[in-house]
Structure 1
Amino acid sequence: MADEHLRERLQRLERVAAGSRDGYWERDLLHDTSWYSPSFRELFGFAPEALPDDRDVVNARVHPDDLPEFLARYQQALATLGHFTYELRYLDARDQWRWVRGRGRVWPGDDGRPAFITGAVSDVHAEKSAQQSLLALTRRFERAVDASAEGLFERVLGEPGLYMTDRYLELIGFRREDAPTAPEALLERLHPDDHERFRQVVGAAMRAGRRWELDYRFRHGGGEYRWYRQRGRAERLPDGRKLLTGMLADVHEQTLQRHELEGTRAQLEALVAERTARLESALKLARERQIEAERANAAKSRFVAHMSHEIRTPLNGVLGMLELAQRVATLPEQQRYLETARRSGETLLQVINAVLDFSRVEAGHAELKPRPFDLVQALIATMRGMMPMVRERGVKLMFDWVGRDGPVIGDERALRQIATNLIGNAAKFTQRGQIGVTVNVMDAPDGLLDVTLAVEDTGPGIPPARRERIFDAFEQGDDSLAREHGGTGLGLAISRALALDMGGDITLDSPPSGGARFTLKLRLAPAPGNMPLAAPRRRGMAWLVSTSTAGGEWLARRLRRLGWQVRLLASLDQVLQAAEQQRPQLVLLSEFSLHTGLDLAPLRHALPGVPMHLLIRPDWHDPGLEAQARHLGIGRAVTPMAPAVLAQFDDMEATRAADAATAPRPAPTPDLPRWPAGAEVLLVEDNPVNQMIGQEFLRTLGLAVRTAGDGAQAVDACLDRPPTLVLMDLQMPGMDGLEATRRLRELQRAGRWPGAPIIALTAHAGASDRNACLAAGMDGVLTKPLALEVLRKALSQWLNSPRSSG
């Protein structure tokens, strides 16, 4: 019976231990053994066999920082036969530290000495973690408060006292023991003008339980009033009391500055209002004058356009009649007189074109059209076109290219116009010597290309007094009555305006010793196919034969950059003498060393197999010498030369191919094209002289022609007998050319007229005129005055190629 009772007590104790979720342990001091309950192991996630009843093994998992305190309390309990408690971190089965709280007691034996120590541990990890987080948050908040420039306060309504941080006391200028804490004492120190506003703002916030913010003046501990900003919040505690919490900042200096600024701003606003009224009056006057200026500008543009038409119309008659007269003139004197008159007329046409270009630039209508183009070929073609004019003046035109030579993106027409104006300007003022054109194309840091075009002459230079205005319209380097040079003075103005539109500029340098250097600087994007500059390679010795030392040096520089050693020789005799002692890898004969009747055979016999080239200008003509050179295997290169041509001089076939691709085309033969059978042109022209010239041009080209005097007659003529092509003047009395074209296209769409190409004839040269023609249904535009060759090409295009229906 006693054993059964004992078992019940044991089972009861086991159930209590299991239900408490605590772990139990016991130390038998007499036998030096330890025991740990299953719940102890379960508390830390151990299986029974994973944690033995070994005190050293168990204690080894106590955190090193906590073990000394635990052992100290353990020993003190042994010494006093008493109780002890402890908190420590224990390494559980997942190798994570867990906080536990323990209780222990020492039991004495019969002899009164310690016999057993028993204890229990509870898991307090969540509680301890929360305490530590709260402690860390509290310390963080305390650090933030200490670092803040604002002072904190807190008060429970209806209770004495006011919590103030040290910073709060510092701001209001009091020691803690002297600081006013009662609401009445604080209110007494408010500025009388702010007292009521403070009561209203803070009182409303307290009643509604919300935030507030206001600035007020408070009497500092030192006696003076200072501006403060208070921000606070009112909230109701769970027990119904109201808690006020807030912060205080000193804004005295900022407030005084703001008040000063507000006063200054008020003065400025009054001043601005006064001046605004005056400015509005001035702007109104300026707008009125702007409208007047725009009207004047529009009138000027209309005047230029109409004057262009009125001048071009008779000029068309003059140039047309001169060209017809030249075709029938028989005597050399007649031909010379007519040629002189024709060139004078073409010069007048250039003046008109310059005025129109300047008018478009000044009006902002010079629209750029960037697209990929070959910069080298564009500039070389421009120079080749101007070389005959320069040669007539006995001036040498030289060329140098440094850097890249691939395609770029830009407005080719604008660039060629600038180059033409700069070279033409240099040629006009240079009586002797040379004109040098240097192009430099280098990589820019932003992936673009820095392009520099310099045109330098050996003319008289430009006086300092005129350099400031040299780019102004109608300015000349010499504007005296005795000046020797003609022109409108618009070329440089147009060139600089185009350069500025392209994001560049043109500058002038004219030293006291004479001469002038105009430099165009642009930044252009490389087009696809533009490759980095290749490194030069060693090429051997090149002989350059030139009677012009200056011209030879220009070309020699280019050859040396490509890797050639260059020897300058003045004549063919010097070449033959040098050939007795040395054999070069290349021989170049400049045009300055060539003359009619020159025998090239001795040169070829002296240097068999050596690549040789004649360097000739575009207008050079000596069929006999060319035939002799071809027979002897001597190549021909047209100057100025592209870098690619120079780089291939040691390859005869490659040089010939490059020259063939870039050489100027021969003038068209006088043979008449083959027109479609029965081709007939309707010429619509109201001016009798221009009508007569047009008829003669068309008959000269072998075409049948009918005429109409205005747009209405043109419509009737097309319906009566449809022509193969219509040449339509624009400005005519009654029905003009645009209206006539629109009616013909309407008749074509209605099936009443089979249709035909309609080409405009106009003395108006603007882009807007061209667009108006195309919009009306015309297929092309020819600008007066007409040249026979221009008319032939246009008619060949429209009469000998398929045309879409209008």
Structure 2
Amino acid sequence: MAASVPPADSFGPPNGIERRRADPELSAIFDNASVGILFTRNRVIQRCNQRLAEIYGTEVESLIGQSPGIFHADEGSFRRLTERARPLLTEGKPFDADWEFRRIDGSPLWCHVYGRTVSKSGDDLGTVWVIEDITQVRRAREELAQREKLLSQIIQGSLISTFVIDRDHRVTHWNRALESLSGIAAAEMVGTTDHWRAFYRTQRPCLADLVVAGASLDAIAAHYGGAGRTSTLLDGAYEAEMFFPDIKPNGRWLFFTAAPLHNENGELIGAIETMQDISERKVAELAMQQQNATLTTIVENLPGGVIVSDRDLRIIACNDAYRRMMNIDDSLFANGAPSAEDVVRYLTERGEFGFGEPDRIFEAAMQRVHHREPQHYERMRPNGSVLEIRSSPLPQGGYILNMVDVTERKRHETELRTTLAAKEAAELASHAKSDFLAVMSHEIRTPLAGVIGMLKFALEDGSLRIRTREQVQVGLDNAQSLLNILNDILDVSKIEAGKLTLEAIDFDLHALLREALDPLAELAAAKGIAAKIEIAPGLPHFLRGDPTRLRQVLTNLAGNAVKFTERGTVRVTAGLARETADTADIEFVVTDTGPGIAPETLVRLFRKFEQADLSTTRRYGGTGLGLAICKQLVELMRGSITVDSVPGAGSVFRVRVSLPKGAAPSRQPAAAGKRTRHTHRLRVLCAEDVQTNQIIIRMMLTDLGHDVDIAENGQLAVEACARTRYDLVLMDGRMPEMDGATATRLIRAGGPQGTPVLDPEVMIVALTANASEEDRARYLACGMDAFLAKPVDEAALHLQLSRAIERQLQRGIELPLMPARGAGRPSTAELDEMFEVFT
């Protein structure tokens, strides 16, 4: 206690009721003490000083004779104090405690209480109590504790890893965020000085330890050995960032700060250190650095010039290509990064934007610089070169400008436009040629079909004289040659136009070889030369492809061999060159013992309109298109054709094609002979505007035992279908009044309003002198079921008639049976009369 206690005997005799005069000095001390003093006996206040009365808020006289319980808020408080103090006082020991009392006005009062029993000669005189008012101290302590609690809560609740050490480097706080970062619990760390182990494998001071030790920035930087960045903050605080390899499995980048802690007297009492995991930021910074390096490399290596400005129009990037293109020397960058205005003025003064009034040119150029929208334009330089310029604003302000010299590209574009115009003109010419050939094909084939048809009928008349038969045969052969020439020209036209398409159907290769080559064997025998067809063992029967075009190639090659060979042998072999599970590579070899071909002629053998020499044309005829067509057809089949020849020793042509394996066709109708009789008779309508063709079709159908009606155009054909139920309609494609396609669509639609046709589903077969694939596809698309080419082959006609019979029977339509004999052929007199009519 700060105040001394007066001697026991100064309080008077044990009866204590009469107040005795004590030593004046002791009384002065008692009355003027800075603490409250009272003397109690038998729980009654015998004496107290003025300070006690002031503490309690009353007068001394009002306290004398009162129970000490007057100082307590309630009886329970007094009883608890008495119970704690009695054992000590009874044993002569002092009682010392902080206790809460109540003033006379009821306000709380915290006091430090010191009590001791007073005795004399073994007699208990009473108890002396010293009371010190500690209310303000207590309140200060509570506020300090509250502040410390709040600080602890703030540290614990912070998301930033934090720990606090005292001046002895002992941990006083270790928050939850740091527990998560370090993996060490606060209970394990608080009160220790080995907090270094949360960050390092070996003992070394943390930044907070250095701050407590009063280390300088240089010492701190030296301590971290340049492994991180350090700097000084205010009031002796420091910050740093460094990679800690021992934190977590792969290490972490931390940004940490440490600041000293002082008490109210300015004395150092410890330090606080905070740290943040900045690993993600460092990874992002590294990625940004790499990206910037990559972008810098890209900008520097772009084929065009690139210049970039910031929001203040200061140039922040300008690659070497831009400097070279604009002829910029180092003087523009002598004083650091120039502005966009500096660059524009520099270029204006050197005539980059043309010659004239410099200020006007400069202002016009700056207007583009200040334009905030994306720009794309071309500019011709004074030297005649052309620049393509793109300028785009940047999100953070400023712009990026890219320029490319497109002079060469412009020249190429001009050339390309010229080429495209020429190509377009060529395509128009090609279309015009195709249209012309289509028209000419129709116009030539139509009378030619009549000639061939009539000559064939004439040859079948057994009453012809021998000389007349020979003359008619010569006429038929020439007409057939003319048809072959026309077919070659049309094939070349279609191939050139890219309009020749190949079929993909299953066929029997062995049957194809016999059909294609057996007639040539007869021709060879007539010339007195040997013709051999050899099929190698293992050659597949069924393949998938275009049998018609393959037959055309083989017929042409073998036909040429027979035509040019005067003595010896023509041999055609077919063998399997290679086979997989799905495909077969077939090699056809045509060998002859003809005159052979000179080396200088071989190089142009497959060109159009080329033959060995003019004497070949004069001697054997032909257009020189056959081999060119063969080569193009084989290439369309993704195959190859080659030739080896020695003059005087013959030639060898090799064709190799790869074809998918096929299946046996589900139904392979046998070739129909022109005298084969059908089981049922059909009623046929032939829509044909050319009288000669009408006669031929009528004669062919009549000879086969069928009934036929003729309509001279499509309109009449539709009207006929409205009057009569036909089993088959042969429809010419091109006719006056109404063409075949229009008539077919009208029939399929049920006929004109008011005059419906009797059978909209009647089988319709196109008769076309046009070999155009487009026309054939158009005929099928409009509703026709098939087509026959002019001149009409009687076997092909017979096949379509057979299909019509089968179709009608499947539909449940009754057909009359075919009579035992068909109509006879026209006599020679009738044919002569026809020729006279049409000559």
Q: 1:367 aligns with which of 482, 500, 504?
A: 500
Q: 2:488 aligns with which of 358, 364, 381?
A: 358
Sequence identity percentage: 21
Partner SS for 2:258: strand
1:50 and 2:185 are equivalent in the alignment: no
In structure 1, the residue matched to 2:679 is 674
TM-score normalised according to structure 2 size: 0.50
In structure 2, the residue matched to 1:317 is 454
Give the whole-Å Cα distance in 2 for the aligned partners of 1:130 and 1:734. Answer: 85
Deviation at 1:358, TM superposition (A): 2.0
In structure 1, the residue matched to 2:63 is none
Partner SS for 1:373: strand
Post-superposition Cα deviations, 1:499-532, rounded to whole Å, max 9, x if no partner, equal 45556664433224522233445576x4688xxx
AA in 2 matched with 1:315: I
In structure 2, the residue matched to 1:459 is 594
1:60 and 2:187 are equivalent in the alignment: no
Deviation at 1:415, TM superposition (A): 2.3
* Cα distance change of structure 1 residues 297 and 200 upon mapping to structure 2, 3 Å threshold: closer
1:124 and 2:258 are equivalent in the alignment: no
Q: Mark the runs of 5 or more structure 2 residues left unpaired by the alignment.
A: 1-110, 114-132, 156-162, 216-234, 301-305, 324-328, 352-357, 376-390, 814-839
Q: 2:258 aligns with which of 95, 98, 101?
A: 101
* Cα distance change of structure 1 residues 486 and 35 upon mapping to structure 2, 3 Å threshold: closer
Partner SS for 1:305: helix
Counterpart contact for 2:556–2:627, Cα < 8 Å: yes
Partner SS for 1:363: helix
Partner SS for 2:198: coil
More moved, 425-434 vs 142-151: 142-151
Q: 2:146 aligns with which of 15, 18, 37?
A: 15
1:421 and 2:556 are equivalent in the alignment: yes
* Cα distance change of structure 1 residues 66 and 736 upon mapping to structure 2, 3 Å threshold: closer
Counterpart contact for 2:729–2:762, Cα < 8 Å: yes
Give the whole-Å Cα distance in 2 for the aligned partners of 1:507 and 1:345. Answer: 36
Say which structure, 1 or 2, has more relative contact order (CA 8 Å, 6+ apart): 1
Q: How does 1:298-697 map to 2 (within 5 A)?
A: 302-325=439-462, 347-348=477-478, 350-364=480-494, 367-374=500-507, 376-377=509-510, 380-383=513-516, 385-386=518-519, 388-389=521-522, 392=525, 393-399=528-534, 410-430=545-565, 431-438=567-574, 442=578, 453-464=588-599, 466-471=601-606, 475-477=610-612, 479-480=614-615, 485=620, 487=622, 489-499=624-634, 506-512=641-647, 514-520=649-655, 526=660, 672-676=677-681
AA in 1 matched with 2:189: L
Counterpart contact for 2:196–2:203, Cα < 8 Å: no
Give the whole-Å Cα distance in 2 for the aligned partners of 1:788 and 1:800. Answer: 18
Deviation at 1:93, TM superposition (A): 12
AA in 2 matched with 1:417: Q
Give the whole-Å Cα distance in 2 for the aligned partners of 1:142 and 1:304. Answer: 70
Q: How does 1:748-787 map to 2 (within 5 A)?
A: 750-751=755-756, 764=769, 766-767=771-772, 782-783=788-789
AA in 1 matched with 2:455: V
Deviation at 1:414, TM superposition (A): 1.9
For the pair shown, the structure with the greater C-alpha radius of gyration is: 2
Give the whole-Å Cα distance in 2 for the aligned partners of 1:385 and 1:202. Answer: 85
Q: How does 1:105-254 map to 2 (within 5 A)?
A: 119-126=269-276, 171-172=330-331
Counterpart contact for 1:351–1:488, Cα < 8 Å: no
Give the whole-Å Cα distance in 1 for the aligned partners of 2:672 and 2:273. Answer: 109
Partner SS for 1:675: coil
Counterpart contact for 2:448–2:483, Cα < 8 Å: no
In structure 1, the residue matched to 2:801 is 795
AA in 1 matched with 2:532: L
Post-superposition Cα deviations, 1:453-495, rounded to whole Å, max 9, x if no partner, equal 4433232212345445544556544653897645554432432
* Cα distance change of structure 1 residues 101 and 517 upon mapping to structure 2, 3 Å threshold: same
Give the whole-Å Cα distance in 1 for the aligned partners of 2:333 and 2:784. Answer: 96
Counterpart contact for 2:171–2:193, Cα < 8 Å: no
Deviation at 1:412, TM superposition (A): 3.2
Give the whole-Å Cα distance in 2 for the aligned partners of 1:16 and 1:312. Answer: 119
User: What's the RMSD between the two structures over aligned residues?
Assistant: 7.3
Deviation at 1:317, TM superposition (A): 1.5
Q: Number of aligned residue pairs: give it.
A: 594
AA in 1 matched with 2:443: H
Deviation at 1:120, TM superposition (A): 2.8
AA in 2 matched with 1:363: S
Give the whole-Å Cα distance in 1 for the aligned partners of 2:311 and 2:780. Answer: 87
Counterpart contact for 2:634–2:657, Cα < 8 Å: yes
More moved, 314-323 vs 430-439: 430-439
* Cα distance change of structure 1 residues 370 and 9 upon mapping to structure 2, 3 Å threshold: same
Give the whole-Å Cα distance in 2 for the aligned partners of 1:209 and 1:754. Answer: 74
AA in 1 matched with 2:547: E
Give the whole-Å Cα distance in 2 for the aligned partners of 1:423 and 1:135. Answer: 79
AA in 1 matched with 2:456: L
Post-superposition Cα deviations, 1:73-93, rounded to whole Å, max 9, x if no partner, equal 76789xxxxx99777899999
Counterpart contact for 1:317–1:690, Cα < 8 Å: no
Give the whole-Å Cα distance in 2 for the aligned partners of 1:433 and 1:776. Answer: 50
* Cα distance change of structure 1 residues 792 and 451 upon mapping to structure 2, 3 Å threshold: closer
Give the whole-Å Cα distance in 2 for the aligned partners of 1:731 and 1:772. Answer: 12
Counterpart contact for 2:610–2:625, Cα < 8 Å: yes
AA in 2 matched with 1:352: L
Deviation at 1:316, TM superposition (A): 1.2
Partner SS for 1:674: coil
Give the whole-Å Cα distance in 2 for the aligned partners of 1:756 and 1:92. Answer: 88
AA in 2 matched with 1:103: P
AA in 2 matched with 1:508: V
AA in 1 matched with 2:803: Q
Q: Mark the runs of 5 or more structure 1 residues left unpaired by the alignment.
A: 29-33, 78-82, 107-116, 158-162, 213-230, 235-244, 530-657
Counterpart contact for 2:259–2:271, Cα < 8 Å: yes
AA in 2 matched with 1:101: A
Give the whole-Å Cα distance in 1 for the aligned partners of 2:317 and 2:691. Answer: 108
Counterpart contact for 2:689–2:711, Cα < 8 Å: yes
Counterpart contact for 1:724–1:756, Cα < 8 Å: no
Counterpart contact for 1:375–1:407, Cα < 8 Å: yes
In structure 2, the residue matched to 1:594 is none
Partner SS for 1:462: coil
Give the whole-Å Cα distance in 1 for the aligned partners of 2:370 and 2:742. Answer: 85
Partner SS for 2:455: helix
Counterpart contact for 2:605–2:612, Cα < 8 Å: yes
Partner SS for 2:272: strand
Deviation at 1:319, TM superposition (A): 0.8
More moved, 5-14 vs 65-74: 65-74
Partner SS for 2:680: coil
